[in-house]
Structure 1
Amino acid sequence: MIDYKSRTLLQPPEIASFFVCVVILSLFVALSIIWQQTVAWNEVVFRTGAALGVGGLGVLYRKLGRNEGIALALIGTGIFVGFTNSTILLNYLLLPVSQPIVDSHLIRFDAIFGYRWESFVATLAGCPEFGRALAWVYHTSVVQMFGMILILAFAQKHLQLYRFIVAGIIAGVMTVGIWFVFPSFGPAAYQIVPAEVSENINLVVTNDYGQEILRLAEEGNAVISFSHVLGLIAFPSFHTVMAALAVWFSRGLVIFYPLLVLNILMIPAILSHGGHHLIDVFGGILVVSIALAITRILLPDPQANQVIQTN
């Protein structure tokens, strides 16, 4: 039975998460060399070093017996940054896509529910203040992830933090895997929204954005660089994954209800500003559900086990 609050230098969930990051990054390096893909290696080294530095500082902090909350925050942040960076790199390395793009099927599925992206955006433009507010909501996703790590770490909710990180990693790997087999880029690449409508609500994913993604899908990258990174994946929506994780793991905390309201608003923000199909949101929720189920198996609650053994 794992004692998640022990003063071990690195807990098993931390070691496992670090190992996954190393595997993904190693896979990227190996494939980029084999496929002769040009990479801005200076950026990769800098960002990888930054993630290792933050995480390593957390390990040092724990070794010195300092505040465990700070150690958890640093280690968790290092893992999150390392996983995010390595996954982005691998995702871009998979361009150009070799599988048939499935957006046409997703658009037909959305039509069953009466949803069409360009119409939804046009409706939002009728209330521009709300549309612009949703753009702000859309940009809070990554901030929420970092915020959850910090809050759970400083509250020293070890198990909840480890489950949050592991579930995020599982969901991230699943998302990229599904996209690799069934690539999709969202309706912004196919449905036209007038420029004045886009400007009226500060639309994040515009038609130009969608066309650039399609170009990458067909031509790939001349150079993989963090200075030119776009959100490639439509189905399943990773913004939905992040929103669902934030709400799920904030249960029992004072921030739960504010995050719940924020992420209810995230749904129309994802659909409009994220340039997503309706089914992308459903896909994101399904991915999170599976990731949470796996995480509960991988990281059982020791207290629950003790209750079962006592009974």
Structure 2
Amino acid sequence: MQAYEALAVRRYAQIIGLSICAFVLADFLCLSVSNVTIDAYNGFELIIACSIAGAYWVAGKFAALMATRSQSRLSRVWKGAGATFENIAIFMAVFIPMSIASCLFMYLAASTTRPRLDWLLVAGDKTLGFDWPSALGYANSHPKIAAVLVFCYEALTYQLPVVVLWHAVTNQRLRLLEFVAILFASSVLTAIIMAAVPVDGPYLYFRPAPSLFDHFTNAGLSHAATVDALRSGAPFDFLISKTVGITCFPSFHTTLGIIITYAMRRTPLLIPIALVNAVMIVSTVPEGGHYLVDVIGGGVVAVTAIVGVTFFASANQQDLAQRMAARS
């Protein structure tokens, strides 16, 4: 590994570590003043997840060992398998604690009794000439368009594994760490904005009749019962496997769509993923239950995270390259 790549890896690792620590610290500070409690069953689920990550790591080391004991052609197969397993294990090792800590913070932030600021986002939409109920009605009046929007919205669930597997199988660990760093940085930015600007979302604000969105699922309302329970003041048990998306502003679907597309640049999958995500971002308005301002906010978060992480990782690389050239 060249020196500038090693520097980038350290920078990505710093962003990843700081992001996890930021969420853990925020959770620790907020739990004592919240009605949210951590369900003991989380420990069992954590053990299972860590066991799977450990199994990938062991499989990677075993494959690497077999690579040293096999013939040339078979050795390359074992070596490739070992790198793949190790890359997946590395991803899981950081994604597991981050997913728990970040989801817990989102729930803690949503448990606030502060007034909702939907009116502010509605005003922002109107300033842009956008009317959410009209947009919902138009999309719902075209069943085929609605079906495509729903499909692309749900397709995002499968894109994260695709990104991880692509970079793991092709052994692009540096690019995988870049993706994780951007993902984690965008999660921190989203959490800060979500906590600062509590909103219900347009489905709860406008309360359209069911007939006005009968060609869409209830994704835009899936958070309603959870948010009501969090705000009730009654004890709420947090269980990671039962969590739902409760972030309204900014749209994290939009953020994910952009950073996933960015992560798959220079790959054969770029064009199909970009097309699906372009439609998915549109679908966040009627299907995901987001204001137009939410979508713009999610885009700003994604671009900020990409630019910030890229700049931080590449800082001083030119000076490093010049010093290496001088030594040689």
TM-score (ref. length: structure 2): 0.80
Question: Aligned-pair distance for 1:55?
Answer: 3.5
Question: Aligned-pair distance for 1:303?
Answer: 7.9
2:185 paired residue number: 170
Sort the Cα spacing of 1:18 and 1:52 in 2 relative to 1 into closer, same or farther, 3 A.
Answer: farther
Question: Aligned-pair distance for 1:214?
Answer: 5.3
Distance across 2 between alignment mates of 1:204 and 1:87: 20
CA contact (8 A) 1:188 1:210 kept: no
SS at match of 2:129: coil
Question: Aligned-pair distance for 1:218?
Answer: 3.2
Sort the Cα spacing of 1:154 and 1:11 in 2 relative to 1 into closer, same or farther, 3 A.
Answer: farther
Sort the Cα spacing of 1:263 and 1:281 in 2 relative to 1 into closer, same or farther, 3 A.
Answer: same
Question: Aligned-pair distance for 1:2?
Answer: 5.5
CA contact (8 A) 2:227 2:246 kept: no
Q: Give ranges in structure 1 of 5+ residues lacking alignment.
A: none
Aligned match for 2:276, one of 262, 268, 271: 262
- The equivalences for 1:100-119 within 5 A come to 100-119=115-134
Question: Aligned-pair distance for 1:45?
Answer: 1.3
Question: Aligned-pair distance for 1:51?
Answer: 3.7
2:228 paired residue number: 215
Greater relative contact order (Cα 8 A, min sep 6): structure 1 or 2? 2
1:243 paired residue number: 257
Distance across 1 between alignment mates of 2:168 and 2:251: 27
CA contact (8 A) 1:240 1:281 kept: yes
Question: Aligned-pair distance for 1:70?
Answer: 2.1
Question: Aligned-pair distance for 1:233?
Answer: 1.4
Distance across 1 between alignment mates of 2:37 and 2:313: 39
Q: Give ranges in structure 2 of 5+ residues lacking alignment.
A: 65-78
SS at match of 1:38: strand
Question: Aligned-pair distance for 1:25?
Answer: 4.1
Between stretches 154-163 and 48-57, larger displacement belongs to: 48-57
2:149 paired residue number: 134
Q: How many residues get paired?
A: 305
TM-score (ref. length: structure 1): 0.84
- The equivalences for 1:1-311 within 5 A come to 1=3, 3-4=5-6, 13-14=12-13, 17=16, 20-21=19-20, 24-25=23-24, 27-28=26-27, 31-32=30-31, 35=34, 37-42=36-41, 44-64=42-62, 65=64, 67-206=82-221, 209=222, 211-212=224-225, 215-216=228-229, 218-219=231-232, 222-226=236-240, 228-300=242-314, 310=325
Sort the Cα spacing of 1:102 and 1:160 in 2 relative to 1 into closer, same or farther, 3 A.
Answer: same
Please tell me the root mean square deviation across aligned C-alpha atoms, in Å. Answer: 3.1
Sort the Cα spacing of 1:49 and 1:11 in 2 relative to 1 into closer, same or farther, 3 A.
Answer: farther
CA contact (8 A) 1:100 1:183 kept: yes
Sort the Cα spacing of 1:169 and 1:105 in 2 relative to 1 into closer, same or farther, 3 A.
Answer: same
Distance across 2 between alignment mates of 1:31 and 1:38: 11
SS at match of 2:286: helix
Distance across 2 between alignment mates of 1:177 and 1:303: 30
Question: Aligned-pair distance for 1:170?
Answer: 0.6
Of structures 1 and 2, the larger Rg is shown by 2
Question: Aligned-pair distance for 1:187?
Answer: 0.8
Distance across 1 between alignment mates of 2:161 and 2:295: 22
Identity across the alignment (%): 19
